[in-house]
Amino acid sequence: MFKKVYLLVLLAAALACKAAPSKPIKVSAADLVPDEKQVIVCKKIAELIANYNYKKVELNDSVSTIIYNRYIKSLDENHSYFLASDVKEFEKYKTVLDDDIKEGNLNDAFYIFNVFQKRYIEHVTYQLAQLNKSFDFDSKETFIYDRDKLPWPASQKDMDAMWTQRVKYDLLNLKLASPDMVKNKATLKKRYESLLSQANKLSNQDVFQYFMDAFTEAIDPHTNYFNPSNAANFNIEMSRQVEGIGASLLSENEYVTIKTVVPGGPADKSKQISIDDRIVGVAQGKDGEFQNIVGWRVENAIAIIRGTKGTTVRLEILPAGTSAGGKPKIVEMVREKIILKDQSAKKEIRTYNSNGKSVKIGVISIPAFYIDYNDYKAGNPNYKSTTHDVKILLDSLKQENVDGVVIDLRENGGGSLMEAIELTGLFIKSGPVVQVRDTKDQVDVEKDEDTSITYSGPLGILVDRFSASASEIFSGAIQDYGRGLILGTQTYGKGSVQNAIDLDRVLGSPIRDKINQLAGTKKAGAVSTGSQSTYGQLNLTIAKFYRVSGNSTQHKGVTPDIQFPSLIPLDKYGEDTEPSAMPFDVIEKSDFTKAGDFTSVLPQLKKMHDQRMTTSDSYKYMLEDIADFKKRDTENSVTLNEAELKKQRDTDEEKALVRNNLRRVALGLPALKKGDKKPKDEDLDFVKREVGQVMTDYISLGSKFTSVTTQ
């Protein structure tokens, strides 16, 4: 006991020089409060951003207002939870959040969240109470579901009226599927109770994440803080690998439930784990104590089930179908490194006809520019990465004698800058790939030094609005070198470089260890308790990248050589829609030698593509889909009259069936009847098909239109 008191005194002394935040305002007995870790992290992030962020932004009252607006929007964008009086009261914080952040004072941010949480629980509880009432579904009534442009409700009466309509709308949706209102109300009650349960599981980490998001994104869209669990997930995304048991988990009815098992992983090899088994307890090592995890949030459970490769974890399992009172079985496993193959680069071959000749186009889909940094730093030559995976796929496609290759980067948001450079090197002899300008305006030219070329044949790069960052470095370099055709829609426009900062390393161990000792999370001789850090991670914008041509991709992205209409609204998504984004600019070009030139061939390829589109039903339907989306995007309300809504839904369903069948027939697939399930793995990707056709056109025209100097 004395030791614990001593540690408390020591910790207080260590933090005495830190901020002395104002006293928190009480909202309810269930208030969430910040902890010492978050106070330390908040101040450190403010310091790092002030000193090292590429954008020199002073944290002042003006920025404070932006942070405030972002924070309120993140909590209640639809103006459905706060009362107008709540927001009026919060306005006093508009110009103080900058000072709060500098001082590590999180009480104001937590107060706003606790009010939100109180309102949220009140409204869901109110919804539950409304299920005891009867509703008239014959009245002429309209529910406004999109309220972001409307004011916050002025009174509790207005708020109750809105949520009553929401319950009526939820019930009406169920009633259109089944007339059994007793069953429908039971279904809705279970849904609302689940919402309450999830709300009550929120922690101070969630609040801190919301507030830090508002802060960092007010500075620039890509400086981001990740709390420990989000940091772990981010790094799994980056490496496409995870150390654990090889199973995906979901929370169902208060139980952490196994939903998939990775073939060959520890869970699979145990032969004792099946889909829908429930995990009720977790213990570390062969002798560790079991922690009961019933009712836990799934991410908290995942944190202690994951862990360092080679360590042991034991699970208490209730097999699927066993009653809650059944005796669990104990399964012991040694954690392993699991490669997430479904999230890695993949290939396929598509065949086209060109004047009676068969043309094979290999398509490699790359979901992200990933790399296992730990393996790379450790010197493992077989570390997992995008470039390594794609090189293997390219070698395989060459063995299958493809005539051309398409790299599909749609919805690839980027990742490792190094991987973008390495991947470019697979297609060019050598030379600069990207220029990087730092905070001191010094420009570093990143080059491909390897003179070998993995693939030298016809190349196309398919991009869309969500192709960003590393995708834009790669596609921009391929375009500048004249090495391949860029096809699709204008890319996102993210031209900034982030450095991932492990805050555990920055903040050091003395204070962290003392905090962890007091929290009871570190015990002498304990084995791995999971894969999470203590303080989390900051991805800090430290530089801006430029193409070898000198153009930044910032704001403008990469413009394709042959453009397709965008199914993704360009006015809603993209760097140019972000208020805090950096502008486009240009620096001097790099000294590089082009590999080819498509100037002569592009007009002919565009003409051939346009001619196909004038008679393409698939293209026509895509344009209609875009128009329909724009029309639906302007709607913000729905009728609560059963007959009217049923008629509207029936009409929409019939129209959708007809439209889908027209699309299917246009792609050479059989039409479906109402109620039929779509066959798995069907090729409904018209854009990918047409891109392959453009590549076939290019191949059929011959190399006389392209001057290739390095291949």
Active-site residues, by number, are 469, 480, 494
| Residue found under tokens 């509790």 | 156
Q: How far apart are CA 24 and CA 324, in angstroms?
A: 41
CB 536 within 8 A of CB 41: yes
Provide φ and ψ at 212, rounded to 5°. Answer: -65, -35
DSSP-assigned letter for residue 403: S
CB 572 within 8 A of CB 629: no
Provide φ and ψ at 42, rounded to 5°. Answer: -60, -50
Beta strands in 557-676 (DSSP E): 562-563, 637-639
The packing angle between helices 386-399 and 417-425, to 10°, is: 20
Concatenating the DSSP letter of every residue in 637-667 gives EEE--HHHHHHHHHHHHHHHHHHHHHHHHHT
Beta strands in 4-54 (DSSP E): none
DSSP H/E element including 82: none
Beta strands in 578-704 (DSSP E): 637-639
Q: How far apart are CA 282 and CA 292, in angstroms?
A: 7
Provide φ and ψ at 539, rounded to 5°. Answer: -95, 105
Beta strands in 51-184 (DSSP E): 142-144
| Residue found under tokens 């405030």 | 68
Q: How far apart are CA 294 and CA 297, in angstroms?
A: 9
| Residue found under tokens 């974890």 | 313
Q: How far apart are CA 408 and CA 365, in angstroms?
A: 5
- Considering only CA atoms, which of 124, 127, 131, 128 is closest in space to residue 181? 131
Q: How far apart are CA 58 and CA 650, in angstroms?
A: 55
Concatenating the DSSP letter of every residue in 269-328 gives HHT---TT-EEEEEEETTTPPPEE-TT--HHHHHHHH---TT-EEEEEEE-TT--TTSPP
Residue 637: how many other CB atoms lie within 10 Å: 11
Q: What are the Cα distances from residue 673, in Å, to 152, 358, 443, 458, 676?
A: 45, 34, 60, 41, 6
The residues facing 539 across adjacent strands are 224, 500
The radius of gyration of the chain from alpha carbons, rounded to an integer in Å, stands at: 28
Cβ-based neighbours of 126, under 8 Å, separated by 6 or more: 160, 163
Query: SS3 of 332, please?
Result: strand
The residues facing 621 across adjacent strands are none
